[in-house]
Amino acid sequence: MPPSSFTFQIDAGQVATLRARLEEMGYELSPLEYGHFRTQHKLKKVSVQAYQSGKLLVQGKGAAEFIEFFLEPEILGEAKLGYEAVHNPEMFQPHIGVDESGKGDFFGPLVIAGVYVDSATVPLLLEAGVKDSKLIKSDKKAREMADTVKEIVGARHSVIAIGPEKYNQLYLKFRNLNRLLAWGHATVIETLLVSVPHCPRAISDQFADARVLQAALKEKGKKIELVQRTKAESDVAVAAASILARAEFLIKLERLGETLAPPQVLPKGASAQVSQMAQRLYAAHGAEGLARVAKSHFKTFAEAGAASLRSTAPEVSNGDL
């Protein structure tokens, strides 16, 4: 099924032109918080939201037709939808995309995934609506999309899930998250190169020091072109990898929660809710117990320990002095 949500960046002049043309076409415009306007056409099955930041969001079953026959020719002045091979031919050439999930999550594993694509699989992934996992708001949808990616690319993918206990050991060894990430990325690339030895290129997000990932690659990996860039998820192979990594993270996080007594639903991220859960688990299971489900170098871990000490410290009254 083609994607039904599209995002564009437009300037003030284009916003004004779009507003005028939509009104001419009979669209009813309404106010939009932090935006210029919003509108929805039930008959054409499309909704449009124009934000003050310049972001334009087009959604609905009729979105693709709206973009191809109106938005691109009349407002944007160029045709991109359906012309990815023309505007980004490199994306259709054989390459590996790598991404990770769980890096910023206190609970759960660090998961790194890689996907190999070529001219046969890229159109299928695009048609399936594969996009950066951060744009997929539903956990259920992310897991369903991961199944779709696997159906399309077959065995040409690799996923490494580093559980909290192993992660904490590796962090002590590497003493640096970037080096640990580079090791994981390199391992995924090397694994994929066993099945696709002639792959010429691998793409990942930009590391703070590009040399860290390059140095982590072994014999096979050093023979390919390594591309590091910001917003690498705009490449469909990296986006597919991000989906596989996110889905595996969600599965492993759920299973970790089930190992606790009693079973718990471990929250994602590093929020106040996460801190509260960390403090409860530290109080119930101690540092070792918490380290079995969480990343021990996070500040949240030390704070949970400090909170536990405060709660168990004896109260001192004037008579004790």
pLDDT band, residue 316 (cuts 50/70/90): very low
Going from the C-alpha of 76 to that of each of 28, 47, 48, the distances in angstroms are 21, 17, 14
Give the number of other CB atoms < 10 A from CB of residue 10: 19
Length of the chain: 321
Burial (0-12, 13-18, 19+ Cβ within 10 Å), 18: buried
Q: Beta 46-51 vs 35-41: how paired, if at all?
A: antiparallel
Q: Is the pLDDT of residue 77 over 80?
A: no
Do 213 and 204 touch, CB atoms closer than 8 A?
A: yes
Sign of the torsion angle spanned by Cα atoms 210, 185, 182, 177: positive
Angle at 34 between CA 32 and CA 39, to 5 degrees: 25
pTM: 0.73
Query: Is residue 242 a contact partner of residue 185, using CB atoms and an 8 Å limit?
Result: no
Locate tokens 């399309």: which residue? 152
Residue 223: closest CA among 190, 191, 179, 195? 190
For residue range 173-213, what is the model confidence (pLDDT) as tens digits?
998 899 999 999 999 999 999 999 999 999 999 887 778 88
Return the closest-CA partner of residue 221 out of 185, 192, 189. 189
Q: Is 265 exposed, middle or buried (0-12, 13-18, 19+ CB in 10 A)?
A: exposed
Position 320 pLDDT exceeds 50: no
Q: Which structure tokens are listed for 222?
A: 């050093």
pLDDT band at 108 (very low <50, low <70, confident <90, very high): very high
- 236 confidence band (pLDDT: 50, 70, 90): very high
Beta-ladder partners of 56: 8, 50
Q: Which residue has the tokens 């190999």?
A: 116
